[in-house]
Structure 1
Amino acid sequence: MTTAALVVLAIQIAIVGTVFTYGLQATRGDLLYIVHRPGLLLRSLMAMLCVMPMLVVACVYFLDLPQPTAVVLTALAISPMPPLLPRKQRKAGSVAPYGLGMLVVLALVSIVTVPLSLTLFSWLFEQPLKAGPAAITKIVLTMIVAPLAAGMLVSRFAPRVAPHLVVPVRRVAMLLLIVGVLVLLAGTWRAIGASAGHWTVLAIVIFVVAGLIVGHWLGGPEPEHAAMLALSTASRHPAIALALAATNYPGEKFAPTLVLYLIVCTILALLYVKWQRSRPALSSGAR
């Protein structure tokens, strides 16, 4: 097995392990949290599946983007949220019901919406784009549904064991993720620099900032809802985006552009979280 394959495997195991810990802590009520709030659900779907794809269409039309950048942004815009987000801001590691419910809903919805979105993009861009529902279903099941269900089963049938698994599994997953990302950066940093020109960085910044603004606005007055939807709208599932890009353009190398997006998104997301956490302090200080 090559180094690249090992890195991808390590990151996949890290994601599966993280989602498994969500299952260890989740309840049926958590999964149905967003379903019982149809207004919030509709705004969430609108932010991620309508506003962001339209923004990418505008970027592709008005900016002279290289093909890898245009393809990656298009794939990201129609991909669901990444499985690393559903944690409460103020309680590290605890599960946010809104984030967890949205993770599952958007993952399942993407099986239908991704092929439909690519059909629309094919018509707009006059290029044959495709995505088999089977490929999306496989990623959704293996990376989200299966580990989440496994964690909930362990919590259901071994309730005394489940709480003791959360911290060690999360730590191993985080270690694998950090090592995998560092190795990936070490192997692609030159290619990342080469892909940073021709409006690429500007387009990625626009994508992330617009996602944060749109998600925060449509998240509503509840700070936790606004923060979760902002991060979810700006951050997308990299595995699904890469699969879509590679399927439609097998000769292109999309990893450097995708890694550049992850770097920019991480930096801007951290700044947003810092701003979001400072708001109550500022308001209380003003009083």
Structure 2
Amino acid sequence: MALTHIIPLLINISIFFMVLALGLRAGRGDAIYLLRRPTLLLRSIVSMSVVMIAAAILLSFLIDPAPAVKIALIVLAMSPVPPILPAKQIKAGGSGAYAVGLLATASVAAVVLTPLAVTLIGRLLGVAVDISASRVATVMLVSVIIPLGIGIGIRTLLPDAAARIAPAMSRAAMILLVVAALPLLFEAGPAIWAMVGDGVLLGLIAFTLIGLVAGHLLGGPDNGNRTVLALATGTRHPGVAIAIATANFPHEKAVLAVVFYHLVISALVSLPYVRRRHVASGETPA
């Protein structure tokens, strides 16, 4: 098997076990947390979908970045919460139930919302772009729904065993993700550096900052919810973004590079916010 096939496989395996570890810590009602809070659910959708799609379109006109950056911003805005995010949200003082519920709800909603958003933006910008609901559903099932459901099921039946294996599984999955992703980041380096003067850094930094501010403001009065929604809005699911990009722009390799580097840049940009929320929640930052 070629390296180009092995690396994505390892990334998918690491994400599967990362979400499985999250499910091992989750309560039975966490996955439907937002369904019992329709107002918070509506604010969450507005923050992650409406605001960020508008931000991507606005940045595309204001910064006028390279075409690959513009495409990447748009596909990132239409992608839901990344499955590696809830652990970071919880460590930053966010509500664990909301983090898990947002991941589950956004993943299911993405099956309907993402294809609609892709079609709408494509018509608005005059770009031929499309993604099927079945393809989005496949990504969401493999990376979120199935492992989260398995983890919650194990915790319900074997709570002591779940508590023992969750930390080790989470650490191992994170190590595997880093090891698998590094070659891709290094390979994409030349494509990124070639676009440094074309708005790539400015666009990705602004995208994340807008997300953090929008999520914090729309998260409501609860500080834990604000933390969760801020980080969820500023970060996107790379699997869905890549699926949209490869389906519509197979020859734009730089788009994939921008999507991967968004993960790095969003982590760096959100770091001061995460540290501040650590302090606000009374914890010592790691």
**TM exceeds 0.5?**
yes
Q: Distance in 2 between matches of 1:106 and 1:187?
A: 31
2: distance between equivalents of 1:231 and 1:62? 24
> Hey, what does 2:234 align to over in structure 1?
234
Shift of 1:164: 2.0
> CA separation in 2, counterparts of 1:161 and 1:20?
13
How far off its partner does 1:43 sit? 0.7
1:4 CA displacement:
2.9
Deviation at 1:96, TM superposition (A): 0.8
Q: What percent of counterpart residues are identical?
A: 33
Corresponding residue of 1:69: 69
1:267 is matched with 268
**Match in the other structure for 1:119:** 119
CA deviation map 1:164-196 (0-9, x unaligned): 221221121011012123222232222221132
2:188 and 2:159 map into 1 onto residues whose CA distance is 43
Alpha carbons of 1:196 and 1:258: their partners in 2 closer, same or farther (altered >3 Å)? Answer: farther
Query: Residue 221 of structure 1: CA displacement?
Result: 2.0
Are residues 8 and 93 of structure 1, via their aligned partners in 2, closer, same or farther at CA, if it must alter by over 3 Å? farther
Deviation at 1:52, TM superposition (A): 0.7
C-alpha deviations, 1:191-216, integer Å up to 9, x for none? 22113221121111110000000001
Provide the residue aligned with 1:164 in structure 2.
164
Distance of aligned partners of 1:116 and 1:90 in 2 relative to their CA distance in 1, 3 Å threshold? closer
* Matching residue's letter, 1:267: L
Counterpart in the other structure of 1:184: 184
AA of the residue aligned to 1:211:
G
Quick one: which amino acid aligns to residue 267 of structure 2? T
| Match of residue 39 from structure 1 | 39
Contact 1:195 1:257 in 2 (8 A): no
- The letter of the residue matching 1:260 is Y
Q: What is the CA distance between 1:162 and its match in structure 2?
A: 1.9
**What corresponds to 2:2 in structure 1?**
2
* Residue 61 of structure 1: how far off its partner (Å): 2.4
Cα distance, 1:106 vs structure 2: 0.6
The 3-state SS of whatever aligns with 2:36 is coil
CA deviations on 1:120-152 (whole Å, 9 max, x unpaired) are 112211122110111001001111111111112
Instruction: Answer yes or no: is the 8 Å Cα contact 2:94–2:228 preserved in 1.
Output: no
Question: Is the Cα contact below 8 Å between 1:87 and 1:94 reproduced in 2?
Answer: no
Equivalents in 1 of 2:182, 2:73: separation in Å? Answer: 23
Native 8 Å contact 1:82 1:238 kept in 2: yes
Identify unmatched segments of 5+ residues in structure 1.
282-287
CA distance in structure 2 between the partners assigned to 1:221 and 1:202 by the alignment? 31
What letter corresponds to residue 81 of structure 1 in structure 2? V
Contact map agreement 1:235 1:265 (CA 8 A) in 2? yes
What secondary structure does 1:87 align onto?
A: helix
Question: Which amino acid in structure 2 is aligned with residue 186 of structure 1?
Answer: F
**Cα distance change on mapping 1:42 and 1:130 into 2, 3 Å:** same
Q: Which residue identity does 2:265 align to in structure 1?
A: V
Letter in 2 for 1:8: P
Looking at secondary structure, tell me which structure has more helix per residue.
2
- CA shift in 2, pair 1:88/1:193, >3 Å: closer
CA distance in 1 between partners of 2:93 and 2:212 (Å): 22
Equivalent residues of 1:20, 1:151 under 8 A apart? yes
Moved more, 169-178 or 180-189: 180-189
- Spell out the pairing of 1:1-287 with structure 2 (5 A cutoff): 1-87=1-87, 96-253=96-253, 254-279=255-280
Separation in 2 of the partners of 1:206 and 1:186?
A: 23
Partner of 1:285: none
Flag structure 2 segments of 5+ consecutive residues without an equivalent. Answer: none
Q: How far apart, in 1, do the equivalents of 2:92 and 2:214 lie?
A: 25
- Residue type of the partner of 1:227? T
Task: Provide TM-score, normalisation by structure 1.
Answer: 0.91
Give the letter for the 1:44 counterpart. S
CA contact 1:27–1:152 (8 Å) conserved in 2: yes
1:23 and 1:152 in contact (8 A); partners too: yes
TM-score by length of 2: 0.92
**Cα shift readout 1:51-100 (whole Å, capped 9, x = no counterpart):** 11011111222332222111111011011010112237565899811010
Note if contact 2:90-2:96 (Cα within 8 Å) is conserved in structure 1: no
CA-based RMSD? 2.0
Structure 1 segments, 4+ long, off by >4 Å, are: 88-95
Number of aligned positions between the proteins: 281
Cα distance change, pair 55–165 in 1 and its aligned pair in 2 (3 A): same
